[in-house]
Structures are given as structure tokens and as C-alpha cells.
Structure 1
């Protein structure tokens, strides 16, 4: 007999799923049984938050829906953070949640909850497998919804009794996804706007990208001398070294980069939205006279600061195939504008020389500029970084060279605890990539236990812990609002080296500047030898972010 749990796993196989990140529970034992003889790898995590973050990161890294499996009640509650991240970051993901048996519903049963009420407003859809014969069709529908249009998470509820019953249906394969289309009128609208623009600007972000699409947009921007701004924590579509790369908007940005957004006479939004972070809480680029052309498969476009002049309902990869059809004959000379935008980014993203860094850095504190310089020196062209939330994020956002797609997995949501789990997922998705996770001392203690999961599944990566013994971002805002009244933001930390070593990772602490180069070299040697490595970097509380990075 084939039970429903086995049929669900076979549906995952039909959809090309290679791994599922999970924390086991008695509510979905039938699915675990189905995984026993399946080529789908069960990646057993230590917390549902870590499992859901890893699944979300897989969606970002591959463009395909990441899969997470958790049990009812507490398991579902813990997994909510990864689902919410997938919702705000528009990442394809399918979360399977075990449920109480159908006969036990609405009776205040053990760990009972309303799956629709819990997830309905942060998921694209919530399905419940209520009929054994429909199980595979429901799973296929969930994957289709997660990866179509505005990508995002979908929840599939699995009643404990139903998934143990005999499956009498057929296995459903993937549905064809619509990626939008580009009409002649769309092409003319974009071309006409660019032909009349003296200060054109492209703003990239969102999902629906491929390496080919990123390459095509980069060639187009370079050929026609149109600067490209990146959305916050999305700086991996245009090569770090491209003359078209003009930096990013949002937290840690340059003030001059934000001015480019204001000065542009035509803005082409490619997958990106003018949400509150890139627009400084909707203060930038607002008003009816802004010429903003949007290329996105999301028809709603709720996140916007100003008017939308024209909306092309297509994802970035679809429009990329039509770029050669754009007739920009007679376009104004934008070379000065193009060069100015590039200079701003080059100046901002260059690590300053030793004599120009933190002139008042106290004795005994490590210069994070030196740490970044040593790390960047060891990276290959396909290196990838991950990070979650906190002041430590400023360093990779500003200085990590993103030269391949994807090469920056981070959360726009601003959720702490993302860095380690996402790095593990990235390494599993592409074992040949060099993966560096940046985390703070506050963030590391949220789902950092997935370090042992990374060790178990042999995902060699480097974890850089920027330790300033505080919740630094909140402290910075606290000092702005209530100067000199620091409360509730200071931390006492464990010995992170011993902690990491207890999980089987190689680890070393950096407490002085003269230790940086050798320690970073040793860490990369360990990673190359197949080890998970961790560097514990002690930094001063008042020198935890690079100078000139805006908090906006």
C-alpha cells in the first residue's frame, strides 16, 4: 500500500526537490516514512526557525521553492519567522505543517491551532490535505503558487490521520509557470522613456532573476550608460566591478547614492519596489511627476513611494530576453551621469587604507576594515555571503564583492538568526561555492545552533562573528532618541570559540589587529580542507560599523 505521506514525497521528487529542511514531529510520521527510501535528503535541523530560514535561503539561492517540514503547534510557531521572511522577501517556499487528526479538531486538542488563522496573512496560500486522493494535486498546486507571479511562501497542512491513509490518486508533476510577457507597446514605453532621459536609472531587486538575465541587464546598462542601483541586501545582479554598478539603497547606503534616486529623470524598476527602506520611509522619489516604469510580475505593486508611469507585467528574466529589441536611437549622451554614479559607488565600496581607518580606535579592539580586507583578498569570483540583521550587516553589504548570481543571501525583513542557516543552505545548494556568513554576537545566539547541522552535513563555510557585546542597531537608535540612556541592549556572551569547537567546527578568536591576517588565512585553509570554520572578532562598541554608512 502507498500511503499519503509517501505520495507527498513522490510529488516532491516529481518537482525536482533535492532536500527538505525539517525538525521531526509525531504529527507527520507518514511523511518521514516516505522520506526513508527517497532521494530527497532530510536535513535535520535543531530548531524550526533554523529549518525555515534554510528553506527560505534555498529559495533565494536556486529560484525554486525551498521545502520546510515542522510539526503542529510549537513547531509551526517556531517556523513562522522563516515563512514571514519569505513573504516580505518574495521568496518561493513551501512549508509543510503536521496537524491534529481530523476527529480531534475544534476540541482544544494537544497542540491544536488554526493553520489558516496563523499563516493566512503572511502566505500566498494555505492548503490542508483533507482528502487522501487529492494530496498530490494539493502539493503540486502549492509549488505552482509559490513560484508563480509574486513569489512567496505557501503552507500545506497535513492532518495526522489523513496522511497515514492509503493514497488512491495519481502523482502530479509541476505546472507550467507564467513569467509574464512583453508586448510591443511595453517595449515602446520603456524605449521612449529612455530616449528622452538625460539622467536614467535602473533599480534592480526582487526575485525572478537568473545569471543569464543578470548578464543581459548588465550588458544593456553598460552599453547605454545607464547606472544601476541595487535594492537593499540585493547587490548580486550587477557585477561588483561593472561600470554600471552604482551601489545600493536602504540601510548602510551612501547619502550620495540616495541623491541619485532623487535626481533621476527616468527610473526603470526591474523586479524592485520603492518600499520604505530604499526611499527613507517613503520620503524619496514621491510625487505625481516622477517617471517610474515598473517591470514586475506582481500586478498589485503596493510598495511604492511615487506614481507608476508604466507597468510591464513580466519578471526580470523575461524582459531581459527582449532588451535587444529596445530602440534607443537618439538617446541623450549620459556618459557624465554614468561616470558620476560609478565614482560614488567606487569611493564608497573601497576599503580605506590603514591610515584612514578609525583614527580613535581604542587599544585592544579589532579594526573590522582589516578583517574585511583580509577576507576579500581570499575570495574567488563566485564567493557568496549571507547575513541576517544587525550592525554587522553593514560590512558585507558595503565591501563584499558580489561577482556572480546569486552571491548575497540576506533578509530584507531584518530578521536576526538568518546567517548560519542560510549559509548552510547555500552550500548544500552549490557545494563548489565559497560561502561566508557574517553574524553579530546577538544574531548568532538566534538559530546559531544550526552550526552543528552544517558540521553534520559537511558544508564547509566560514562564519565571521562580529562581537560588540550589544544589540548594536537598537543601541544606535536608542542613542539617537534617548542620548546617554542605554538600557536593554547590552549583552554578556559565552566563549564562542569553545562553543563552536564543541559542535565540531574549527574556531579562533581575533582580539588584536596583528592577528587578523594570519587568523583569516588559517580559517580559509580549514574551509578548503572541508571544515566549518568560525572567527570570533572582538570589536569596539563605538566602531562596529563602517564610517559614512547611513542608518536609513
Structure 2
């Protein structure tokens, strides 16, 4: 090779590649402040992977599209900005669909990029061809297919705007293989603003007047659109005015568990106190929460047409709500919190007594749970959770679906966000959500509570955690069954257990195989040592799993 040829080759290698659509999308993600993306690679979007090579956005390479998409959804819940996942066409998109449904029902901002077949191959039953609108049209806020290369950055900006606006949710961006590799001749577009609503003066006055005159007022909080500052402001407003705050299912952290205004949460398998308060309240103000089948006990509570209910929500359609509606304030929780942060209500002795009475009952119920010996065979899940709670200052808990998630209520919540969960009841979420949380805030104490049925759905992402250096504690509750379904069977078909029993592997050994720390607990006397060693491993920067074998007949705390 001549010297001139060698110099030419070196210059060609050092020169930046031409701006193609994949690079434009990656640059646009950087403009939107994306901190990381979660992906399973595919040949249909190689150009986008190439674009990520040159930007300062880590690409968390996952082991399953469902895990990657769950991580993106959890990031959206955690930060309020869209989490980003990337998957390939056909099977990859199908595997990611489960998290799209979570984001749709839970109102989580998320953008899913899906590689597609080349434009010229459409409608010919090409390899892995599918219709993104047909698949995702009913479960996404919008499906955008990039057919014009010059609009790549514009489409990204639009996807992020839609995902964040109004009632947040998932947006799908389809990337045809040929288009994403085409030259980009357009302009890069920055992040677009979204409206957060407003609390007008008359709205504010109506809310405060209603609460001031109530003997049994209640704030019901939940949903998306919260920030740590908004949660603190609502907490201060409630405590200053002696108002009780009830959280909807899986909305832990909007108010700390040690607040005098804390009165628990509405949840499957939770204490009945919350449902009684919802029904008895003479004025209910919901902030971000939705009066759906879970919060109303299958549309039973709060259905009186004369009930005074004020709803604060950015969703103009109030999708999923039911029951009486006295006033709708079109505002996000953050906007509402700013509007009422300094408001003071006149003293009302009955209001104060109502709040104190229910707070004391909820605290007593939680203490009663911890006092019970909840197992005749195996170890006590309650005692394990108590041992973990005693050692943590500020935990963030993640759970998927199953009876095991009820034990999360025994962990203290100190500040928002304190919980990542699926309000649509989707399994396989716990480990991916914990991984996303640990990467987002490495200094936070992250705990995931997972059932034996759920752990083997995306539990392989522990390999991704080891790869990324994400450290968190996994509590794997092993009762040898799909416990929630077993409980339904016992209710409707007593004594006829069918199709719910499991034979499990050694989960502690599995954790060690993935590069983490593993412990097995079969008796209460083994709890303290296992928790101490597991948390020490997390402190050292490794995932740790405690495999606790429990009494299969104990289905709730």
C-alpha cells in the first residue's frame, strides 16, 4: 500500500459518517435530554444503532423486548419524561406490546421505536411484516410511521410531545429499514412544550370552600404528572389543614407513611379502611387519581349521584372514571400543587378528628400485620419485609402483579417516587423496573418484591443488571404457585386447585449464576443474617436476591 493510499484510508476512517436518518434520530434524542435507551438489537434499525454510536446516550442492551420496554415505561413513570425503547419488527414488536399496554392503562409517557420492513416490500407478506397501526392503534396515543427521511427529527419531537401531553401515554414510531438508512436533509428539532393546565381563581376558590365546609373531606391522589416538589406541596397543604390523604392503588409515595395525613391506599387485598373513607367522605378531591374499578371496588363505592366529587386531571375525557362529578379542574398534579401550596383553611374540629381517627386506624392495621405470624410452614414474608424495612432509610420498591405485591405496603415510603408498579396487573415488571430505577438514581435504595410465578418472566434481566452495574435487592417469594389465581380458585371453586401449581428452581443459585448474590431463607431464624448479607452485597454494587420459601396457604399479609 502506498503512503498516499494509506493517508487517504486513514482520513476516510477518521471522517465522521454522513448524516443519515439514524444519526438524526439519535441526535434528536440527545436534544430531548434522553438519559438512556433500552433496546434489543435488530437488523431493521441498524442505522439507528449506528447513530447511537456517536452520541452520549447509553444504550442498555436487554435480553428480551418485554424487559426493555418495561424499563422504558418505568423510566417514564419515574421521571415524568418519556422512556425510550427500541425493538425490531414482527416478533420484537410483539414482545414489547405488553409494556405498551402498561403505559396505556397506567398513563406513562413512553416512546417505542420499532424497525419496519422496507417501504417497497409493504403488503407482500415480507419477512416479519406487520401493520403497526393495526397492532398498536388501540393501545397507543399515536402511531407514527416515518416515511419521509427529511422529517425524522420532526417526528421524534412530535412523538415526545404527544407522549407527555394531556393524559400521558405510549407513542409508537415505526422506522422502515430503508428510510432510517437514507440521507437526512432536514433540520434537527428541539423539544416541544406541552400544556400543564391551570387552576383558575374560581376553581381554586371552589376547592377550598368545599374542603373548608366539609366534616369528612378526603384527598385521593395518584396517577402521573407528579414531581417530588408537587408531592411535598400537597403533603404540606394536607398536614397544615388536617386533611386525610388516600393514595390510589400503586401510587405510594405521594405522601409519606409517617405523615399524620397518611390514611393508606386503595388496593387489591388492602385494608378496608380506605374504601370506607371513600364512601363516607362528604367532599372528595381527586388529584391525578382515577375513580375506576379498582379504586371504587368494581364501580360500587362513590356512585351516589349526589356525592360531591371534584376531579383534578389533565385528561379532558376523564377516561376510566366513574361516579358523580361535581367539578372538573383541567390541571396536572404539579399545577394543582402550586395553586394550593400556601392555602389555609379555617379550623374545623370534626375534620381534624376524622383525619386523626383514620390515620390511627391505618397505623394500627399496619402494626397488626407485622405482629402476626403469617406462616405455619416455611418462613414469614412479613418478618422478612420488616427486617428489610428496619435497615433502609429511603426505599423505592418495584412490584409487578400478584399477591406478593401486597407486602410492599409494609415498606415505608419517605418521598416521591417511592413505588414503581403496574396498575394494569402486568406480570414480569418487577426486575426490569428495579433495573431502570437503579440506573436512574444509583444512590437510591431499590427493592423489588417478586413472586415465584413472576420472577421467571423477565428475571433474565438480572444479566442486564450485572452488565450495567445496577445494584438492587430482589425479594423472591416462593409459595410454589400462581397465588392470586389460586386465591380466586379457592373463592369460586373451593378445594379444586387446577393449573396454578409450580415447581421452582433454586432462585438464589440462579442469581449467583447471573453474577449477583443469592440467599435462601426457609425459616424465620435465617432472616436477619440473609438480609444483612444481601444488603451488604447491594452496597458493594451487586444485585442480591433473597429466595424466601413461604407457607403456600398464606396468600396476603
Could you say which TM-score interval applies, normalised by the shorter chain? over 0.9
Give the drift of 1:191: 1.6
Would you say 1:167 and 2:181 are equivalent positions? no
Tell me the residue number matched to 2:10: none
Give the drift of 1:348: 2.0
Q: Distance in 2 between matches of 1:67 and 1:305?
A: 32
Does the aligned pair in 2 maintain the 1:351–1:399 contact within 8 Å? no
Q: Alpha carbons of 1:268 and 1:438: their partners in 2 closer, same or farther (altered >3 Å)?
A: same
Give the drift of 1:407: 1.1
Tell me the residue number matched to 2:508: 497
Unaligned runs of at least 5 residues, structure 2: 1-17
Give 4+ residue runs of structure 1 displaced > 6 Å after superposition: none
Which residue of 384, 391, 404 corresponds with 1:378? 391
Does the aligned pair in 2 maintain the 1:392–1:440 contact within 8 Å? yes
Give the drift of 1:328: 3.2
TM-score (norm 1): 0.96
* Alpha-carbon displacement from aligned partner over 1:239-281 (angstroms, at most 9, x marks no partner): 1110001000121221122111110000000000101001110
Give the drift of 1:353: 5.7
Would you say 1:528 and 2:539 are equivalent positions? yes
Tell me the residue number matched to 2:323: 306
Would you say 1:154 and 2:203 are equivalent positions? no
Would you say 1:66 and 2:83 are equivalent positions? yes
Q: What are the equivalent positions in structure 2 for 1:255-404 lying under 5 Å apart?
A: 255-324=272-341, 326=343, 328-329=345-346, 333-350=350-367, 352=369, 356-358=372-374, 361-363=375-377, 365-380=378-393, 382-396=394-408, 398-404=409-415
Does the aligned pair in 2 maintain the 1:460–1:527 contact within 8 Å? yes
TM-score (norm 2): 0.95
Tell me the residue number matched to 2:151: 134
Tell me the residue number matched to 2:4: none
Tell which structure's C-alpha radius of gyration is larger.
2
SS at match of 1:449: helix
Equivalent pairs, count: 540
Tell me the residue number matched to 2:271: 254
Does the aligned pair in 2 maintain the 1:195–1:332 contact within 8 Å? no
Tell me the residue number matched to 1:422: 433
SS at match of 1:43: strand
Tell me the residue number matched to 2:9: none
Give the drift of 1:327: 6.2
Would you say 1:101 and 2:118 are equivalent positions? yes
* Alpha-carbon displacement from aligned partner over 1:45-90 (angstroms, at most 9, x marks no partner): 0000000100001111111100000000000000001111011110
* Alpha-carbon displacement from aligned partner over 1:329-381 (angstroms, at most 9, x marks no partner): 47564111011110121012226565x423xx334x1011210111001111x
Q: Distance in 1 between matches of 2:412 and 2:420?
A: 13
Tell me the residue number matched to 2:470: 459
SS at match of 1:349: helix
Does the aligned pair in 1 maintain the 2:40–2:87 contact within 8 Å? yes
Tell me the residue number matched to 2:497: 486
Give the drift of 1:305: 2.7
SS at match of 1:542: coil
Q: Distance in 2 between matches of 1:383 and 1:490?
A: 32
Does the aligned pair in 1 maintain the 2:370–2:383 contact within 8 Å? no
Tell me the residue number matched to 2:34: 17
* Alpha-carbon displacement from aligned partner over 1:3-37 (angstroms, at most 9, x marks no partner): 00000000000000011000000000000000112
Would you say 1:236 and 2:247 are equivalent positions? no
Does the aligned pair in 1 maintain the 2:386–2:411 contact within 8 Å? no
